[in-house]
Structure formats: structure tokens, C-alpha cells
Amino acid sequence: MNINWFDADYLPWLIMLFPLLSFVIIVLFTARSRIVSQFVALAGIGIAWVLSMVEFVKVVWASDAELGHEVFGSSIDWMTLGTRTFEMGVLVDPLTAYMLLMVPLACLLIFAYSVGYMRSDPHYSRFFAYISLFAGAMLTLVLADNLLLLFVGWEVMGLCSYLLIGFWFHKKSAYQAGVKAFMTTRVGDMLMMVGIGYLFIVARTLDFREILYNEEMLAHLASTPAVIFGGSAAALIGVLLVAGTIGKSSQFPLHVWLPDAMEGPTPVSAMIHAATMVSAGVYMVVRMFPLLSAGADFHAGDFSAPMIVMGVIGSITALGAAILAVGQNDIKRILAYSTISQLGYMVAALGIGAWVAAAFHLVNHAFFKALLFMASGVVIHAMEHGQHEAAEHGDEHLHHEPEQPDGLVMDYVPPANDIRRMGGLLDRIPVTAITMAIGGLSLAGFPLITAGFWSKDEIIADAWHGAGEGYLLALLVVLCLLAAAVLTAFYTARMWFMTFWGAPRTPAAQHAGIGSFRNAWVRSRWARARRLEGVAVSHQDRSSALWMEVPLIVLAFLAIFAGFIGVHTDFPLLGALDNPLHEFLGGTLLEHPTAVDFNWLPVLASSLLALAGLGVGYWLYGLRPLGAEDADPAEQALGAGIWRVLENRFYIDILYRRYLVRPAEWFAVNIVIQAIDKETIDGVLETIGEAFVWLGEFFKRFNTIVIDGVGDGIPGAIGSFAGWFRQVQTGRIQQYLLYVTLALLALGALMFIQIR
């Protein structure tokens, strides 16, 4: 069989195959060897990356000729249920190709970073197995050509997020965070599954090509009335699918799991926040956009129900999360809220129909957010090293650290993550500081030179255009997003200056540096015990620093240059690049979207707001760096009351705990156990039980007298016979063979008699 593996029919299959294969190999064969597992995982994702690049180049070359309608793809029959055959297939169109540009590359860099970061972890191989599965599931989702396969990838990722967030399951808070993430996203997933089911009922297919590229089908969906709530089937399905995204991409009100997902190792946070989990939600709605907007002409201000839901939810999330990020002191939690906020941008963009801008921001965000998370991992690493060094120098004893709380606590910040305890790390980990500054500027949307600016600007420009036409939804979006933009710039500046600027505020920061990484749990329990055993635990391990820093530099490069492919055509100078992205992605869907006219106002507005936010941040935290005993200026400005609210995340988590989790527990304990189980069911059972006890008494009498006499006799006889007969079992093999021969002869004799 002569197969050209670079042929369009096979290549997409292979992309997702290799990471899944490395998962299988590590779990089944190489889990014992840390080195081999590490390289199996790296090889899997590396091959996937190379193949993705090949695929990407092929798509780019093909894009001249109406690519939107001639997608690469192939499918095979999966299962036949009744009269329907579900197919499993892959599809590569410009949107997929654009995702393929980002996902495997980000994953590869995160994998490489993990080599350095997880070095001392006792479950190193398992970690690589899980993240391989995670990456494989994401690639499956991206490449899927139907909703069912997409949902499979979606759910496998849900599982992986659970496994990885709770990776240090010895910590109660970690496994609680894992369960929280799993359960919260499950709410969205359930609704999404209902949506998929309903879509299948109405459309009789789940294939993207048959639904999204088929105007008749879309019209049919838009004209069929929904079973409930009025409206069209397309609207109901769309809202349900958006609910899935709200869970997966951590939108209000299901955003609560993401900040707690920080309990996982930092590479996992980078995975979840950048390359995989949350991107999946946005990717899914971008992919399903024709369905979500079916039956509504959003260019004329007629938004469909799913779009209104997305616009409102996205705006609220973008602004709310940005406000919360200001009030956090945990470096990773600040980034977590910034992720939620940025995802809000994308969802809001989809709400007003700017799906190209959403995809653009999705990929740019993935790059700079992966960068920020991995840089924060290095910071934490450096701080833990500093704590350790400080303890050895007697400046600060490890057991003076605040004890870790039992389980998830809202305002607890692990000491190594606490930006109040940092300061002055700039000259200790300079590479990280500079790359993190680049990532932060990209996040804040620093004008002209960062990727984040271009994509964010495109979203705001689209919304501005809509608001100019007088659409209320677009107005809401543009106001929320501009407000969020200034806050984003501010908290980014606050985080960076508090971490890297000025003088060290604690001995730990004083001694910070990149040594071998040991996270808090591993170091306190495992490494300390090893030292007691006399096993040397190396403190300076340069290669692990290299593994961590190289991905940072690569991502910093991307955080700047990934934006230039989407500059508006009419922008002076840079517009000469001709906005290749818009043309490229535009071919994906049926209707080629027209870019909005260039307008100076939104560009100026977002630039000025970003600069203002950064400026305020510099003014508060940069000009006069925070001293060891100083209070946080933002806290002073806002007042302690508001600050508490921010630290406690608007009390939403507490609200859920009090009004959803507690009642559920109460219901379980009091209603189900007490009222139903103990009183009703047990009452009936006890009455029956008493009747039987009486009956039993009667039988017992009968038993002792009549049955025992006979009953004891027979077992007794059998017992004594068995006692005699067991002597046959001598355990001598030859004696058994003797019996066998005897039986053989008996059989032979029988045959003789028969013949005669």
C-alpha cells in the first residue's frame, strides 16, 4: 500500500494521533523511566507540531482557491445506531489551520518548560502522560469534523483538567479544586450535550460541513420552532452550546473554577489558560458561529438569542474579572482573572459578530498568556528557592511559614505566590522579568508593538462600529471592554512592578533565584525527608533553568509578532501588510465577513486607555516602589471594605457554597438520609422487620426441635465421609497418575465389552 502520509487525507489524523500515542506509551510501558517518558511526550507533541506546520503551510498555499468550500478532510464510519451512521472525521479549514498554528506550538513549549519545572516531582511520568492526553484531546477537538467528536475531545479535556488540577492530590485544596473545576464545567457540558442532542434531532446530522456550510440546513434550523421557550431551534441550540462555552471558557457565572485551578502545577495552568481548555470553548463557538447567528441579520442590528447571551455574558465577565484581578495578591490568581477577562473579550466579540477578531485574540492571548503563566512559574520557583535559602541562612525559618489551610480558602495566598512578599526580582531573574514584561504589555495592549494590542483593538473597533450604528448590545460591549482595558493595563502594571521592581521586601525575595525547582509540597515533605536520609538534593541546576527560559523567549517573540498578521488594511504604514489574517480566516465560513471601515477613534481610545492604565500602575507602584511595611496603594485608595470584597471575589464563590453546595449537602443529609431514608423507608422496613422477627422466633422453635435433628445428622454423615475420603488427596503426583491409568484401563475394558 503506497500511502503518502503528507497527503491531505491522512495528515490531520496523524496530528492528533501522536500525543495520544505518547499517552498510551507512557502509561503502559515507560512510566517507570522518567527520562524516557519525558522524551516520549516531547516527541509526541513535537511530531504533532511539525505535522501541524506542514498542514498549515498547505492550507496557506491552498487559500487562493476558495478554501472555505474545499476543506481538507476525511472521515470514517464510527458507529451505526439504528438507521444513522455516526462518522468520525477530521476537517481542516483556515480556522482549524490557524488553531494548529497555535495549539501544538504552545503545547510543545509548555512541555519543554515542564521538563524543567516538574523535575523534582515524584510523579513526573504520570504528569507527562496526562498533559500528552490533554494536548491530544485538544487537537482532536480542533480537528474534529463533527460535534460529536468535538464533544469527545471536550470531555477528555474536562477529565484531564480534573486530573491535572488535582495532580498534587495529597493537598486537600488541590483535589477540591480539581473537583470544583470538574463539577463547574459539567454544568455547562450537560447543557451543551442537550444542545447537541437537540441539534441532532432537528438536523439529523452533526457534521459541520452539512450544517455550517449548508444554507438550506441553517434556514431550516432557524425556521423550526423550538420545543420550549419559543424562538427558533437554532436559537435554543445556540444558547445551549454557548452554555457549554460558559462552563469551559470560564465565563460568568461559571467562572469560579478557573482561579482555583491554580492549585495545579504551573505548566498545567499554562496549558489550561492558553493552549487547551479555555480556548476550546471559544473555538467551539467560533466554529459554530453560523449556527449561532442563524436567522438573524446581525449586520443590521438584529442579534440572535445566543449572540445576545454571548455579548452580555462576555461584557460582564470581561469587566468583572478585570476588577477582581486588581484585588488579588497571588501572582497566578491575577493571571487567572486576567484570563477570564480576556476570554470575556472574545465571547463579547462573538456576541456582536466579530468572529474573526475573536479568533485573532484567541491565538494572541494564548501566546502571551502561556508566556505570563510560565514566567510566573519561574517567579514562584525562584521565590521557593529563596525561602529555602533564607531558611538555611537562618533568616527565616520554614516552619514560620503560615500553615497551609485545610482545603480551599478564598483569601489564602501561598507565600511563594504572594506578590506582597516579592519585589526586586528584576536583577535575580532578568530573563523572566523581561519576557514577563513583554507578555504583560501584550496583555495590557501596549500600542503598536504588541500582539495583544492589534487583536484587542480589532474587537473594540468592531464593537465601536456597531455602537456607532446605534446597536445597544454593541454599545454595552464597547463600554465594558474599554473599562476593562484600562483595568487590565493597571493590574498588569501592578503585578509586574510589585514582583520585579524596587527592593526585596522579604528575605525570601532577597535570596530568590532559579535553582532546582521544588514546589511547596514537594519540597516541604519529600525533599526534606530526603535530606534527612542523607540524599543530596541539588540546589543549583542550570539545565532546568534552561528548559524553562527558552520557551519564555520563544513565546515573548510570538507575543510581539503574532499580531502583525491582523493589522487593518487602512492603518498607516503597518497596513501595508494587508491584513492577511482576515482574508485567510474569512474563507472559513459561508459568508465572507467584510472588515469594518478603519476608524481612528477606537484605536486612539484603546491606546490611550492602555497607556493610562499602565501609567497609573507605574505612578502607584513604579515611581516609589512598595517597601516591606507599606500598605498597598490601591487598597488605600479603594478602602478596606471594597478591598475585602475583591479579595473574596465578589463573594460569588461563597454564594455558591452557601446557596448551592450547602443546600445540596443539607438536602442529602436531612431530606434524603433523615426524612426519606431513616424515617419513611426505615419505618416501613422496621415494621416488616418486626413481623419477620416474630415469624423467625416461631421458626426457630420449630427448627431446634424438628429440623436440627435431621439437619445435623446429614451434614454430620457427609462430614465424616468427607473426612475419610479426603485421604485420597495425598498430594503425591504419582498416586494421582495411578488413578488416571486405572481409569484409562477401565475405559478400555468398557470398550472391549462394547465391541464384543
Partner 1 sequence: MDITVESIVFLIFSVITVGGGVLVVTTRNLFRAALFLMLSLFGVAGLFVLLAAPFLAGVQVVVYIGAIAILIIFAVMLTPQVTHTQGRNTQWTAGLVLAVILFLMLISVVTPIAEELGLDDWSAGFTQDDPADVPDGSLTELGRALVDPERYMLPFEVASLLLMAALIGAVMLVRPEDTRPRETQPDEAQPAAEHTREQLSSSTGD
Partner 2 sequence: MVPLWMYLMVAASLFCIGVYGVLARRNAIAILMGIELMLNAVNINLVAFWRYQTPLALSGQAFAAFVFVVAAAEAAVGLALIINIYRRRQTVIAEDVDLLKW
Q: Which is nearer to partner 1, 685 or 742 (CB)?
A: 742
Is residue 734 within the footprint of partner 2 (CB under 8 A)? Answer: yes
The option from partner 2, partner 1, none interacting with 402 (CB < 5 to 8 A, set by class) reads none
633-to-10, 440, 615 alpha-carbon distances in Å: 58, 20, 14
Q: Which of 384, 674, 326, 679 is nearest to 520 (CA)?
A: 384
Cα 501 to Cα 625: distance, rounded to the nearest angstrom: 6
The option from partner 1, partner 2, none interacting with 400 (CB < 5 to 8 A, set by class) reads none
- What is the closest distance, in whole angstroms, from the C-beta atom of residue 42 to partner 1 in the complex? 20
What are the DSSP E strand ranges found in 14-62? none
The option from partner 2, partner 1, none interacting with 733 (CB < 5 to 8 A, set by class) reads partner 2
Work out the number of other CB atoms within 10 angstroms of the CB of residue 407: 13
The option from partner 2, partner 1, none interacting with 576 (CB < 5 to 8 A, set by class) reads none
Among positions 25-54, residues that touch partner 2 (CB under 8 A) are none
Q: Which is nearer to partner 1, 594 or 754 (CB)?
A: 754
3-class SS string, 449-509: CCHHHHHHHHHHHHHHHHHHCCCHHHHHHHHHHHHHHHHHHHHHHHHHHHHHCCCCCCHHH
The option from partner 2, partner 1, none interacting with 748 (CB < 5 to 8 A, set by class) reads partner 1
- What is the closest distance, in whole angstroms, from the C-beta atom of residue 747 to partner 2 in the complex? 15
- What is the closest distance, in whole angstroms, from the C-beta atom of residue 28 to partner 1 in the complex? 17
The option from partner 1, partner 2, none interacting with 123 (CB < 5 to 8 A, set by class) reads partner 1
- What is the closest distance, in whole angstroms, from the C-beta atom of residue 125 to partner 1 in the complex? 9
Binding residues (CB under 8 A) for partner 1: these are: 32, 122-124, 525-526, 528-530, 532-533, 734-735, 738, 741-742, 744-745, 748-749, 752, 755-756
- What is the closest distance, in whole angstroms, from the C-beta atom of residue 738 to partner 1 in the complex? 6
Is residue 731 within the footprint of partner 2 (CB under 8 A)? Answer: yes
Q: Which is nearer to partner 2, 676 or 722 (CB)?
A: 722
Q: Which is nearer to partner 2, 669 or 749 (CB)?
A: 749
- What is the closest distance, in whole angstroms, from the C-beta atom of residue 727 to partner 2 in the complex? 6
Is residue 720 within the footprint of partner 2 (CB under 8 A)? Answer: no
Interface stretch with partner 2, choices 274-282, 489-497, 559-567, 731-739 (CB under 8 A): 731-739
- What is the closest distance, in whole angstroms, from the C-beta atom of residue 37 to partner 1 in the complex? 12
Counting DSSP H helices and E strands in the chain, the numbers are 32, 2
Is residue 741 within the footprint of partner 2 (CB under 8 A)? Answer: yes
Interface stretch with partner 2, choices 125-133, 298-306, 580-588, 721-729 (CB under 8 A): 721-729
Q: Which residue blocks in 204-276 are alpha helix, DSSP H?
A: 208-212, 215-223, 233-248, 257-260, 266-270
Q: Which of 486, 474, 500, 477 is nearest to 445 (CA)?
A: 486
DSSP class of residue 429? S
The option from partner 2, partner 1, none interacting with 528 (CB < 5 to 8 A, set by class) reads partner 1
Q: Are the CB atoms for 498 and 490 separated by under 8 Å?
A: no
Cell of 338: 486576567
Is residue 2 within the footprint of partner 2 (CB under 8 A)? Answer: no
Phi, psi of 144 (to 5 degrees): -60, 145
- What is the closest distance, in whole angstroms, from the C-beta atom of residue 745 to partner 2 in the complex? 10
Work out the number of other CB atoms within 10 angstroms of the CB of residue 645: 16
- What is the closest distance, in whole angstroms, from the C-beta atom of residue 741 to partner 2 in the complex? 6
Work out the number of other CB atoms within 10 angstroms of the CB of residue 657: 15
Expressed in angstroms, the distance from the first to the final Cα of the chain is 64
Q: Which are the contacts of 480, defined by CB distance < 8 A and separation ≥ 6?
A: 315, 316, 318, 319, 348
Angle subtended at Cα 65 by Cα 60 and Cα 66, rounded to the nearest 5 degrees: 100
Grid cell 449556527 is found at 291
Is residue 727 within the footprint of partner 2 (CB under 8 A)? Answer: yes
- What is the closest distance, in whole angstroms, from the C-beta atom of residue 454 to partner 1 in the complex? 46
Binding residue (CB under 8 A) for partner 2 from 4, 83, 729, 754: 729
Residue type, 644: R
- What is the closest distance, in whole angstroms, from the C-beta atom of residue 399 to partner 2 in the complex? 52
Angle subtended at Cα 358 by Cα 353 and Cα 359, rounded to the nearest 5 degrees: 120
The option from partner 2, partner 1, none interacting with 644 (CB < 5 to 8 A, set by class) reads none
Q: Which is nearer to partner 2, 641 or 731 (CB)?
A: 731
Binding residue (CB under 8 A) for partner 2 from 732, 754, 755, 756: 732
Grid cell 439437619 is found at 711
Q: Which of 271, 274, 339 is nearest to 133 (CA)?
A: 271
Interface stretch with partner 2, choices 135-143, 602-610, 662-670, 732-740 (CB under 8 A): 732-740
Binding residue (CB under 8 A) for partner 2 from 219, 669, 706, 737: 737
Cα 329 to Cα 37: distance, rounded to the nearest angstrom: 36
- What is the closest distance, in whole angstroms, from the C-beta atom of residue 715 to partner 2 in the complex? 19
Q: Which is nearer to partner 2, 394 or 731 (CB)?
A: 731
Binding residue (CB under 8 A) for partner 2 from 28, 76, 576, 733: 733
132-to-23, 27, 154 alpha-carbon distances in Å: 5, 11, 15
Cα 198 to Cα 219: distance, rounded to the nearest angstrom: 16
Cell of 614: 499602565
Among positions 128-167, residues that touch partner 2 (CB under 8 A) are none
The option from partner 1, partner 2, none interacting with 689 (CB < 5 to 8 A, set by class) reads none
3-class SS string, 631-699: CCHHHHHHCHHHHHHHHCHHHHHHHHHHHHHHHHHHHHHHHHHHHHHHHHHHHHHHHHHHHHHHHHHHH
Q: Which of 10, 271, 16 is nearest to 149 (CA)?
A: 16
Residue type, 260: D
Q: Which is nearer to partner 2, 400 or 726 (CB)?
A: 726
Counting every residue written for the chain, the total comes to 756
Is residue 726 within the footprint of partner 2 (CB under 8 A)? Answer: yes
Cα 477 to Cα 473: distance, rounded to the nearest angstrom: 6
Q: Which is nearer to partner 1, 126 or 186 (CB)?
A: 126
The option from partner 1, partner 2, none interacting with 532 (CB < 5 to 8 A, set by class) reads partner 1
The contact set with partner 2 (CB under 8 A) reads 726-727, 729-734, 737-738, 741
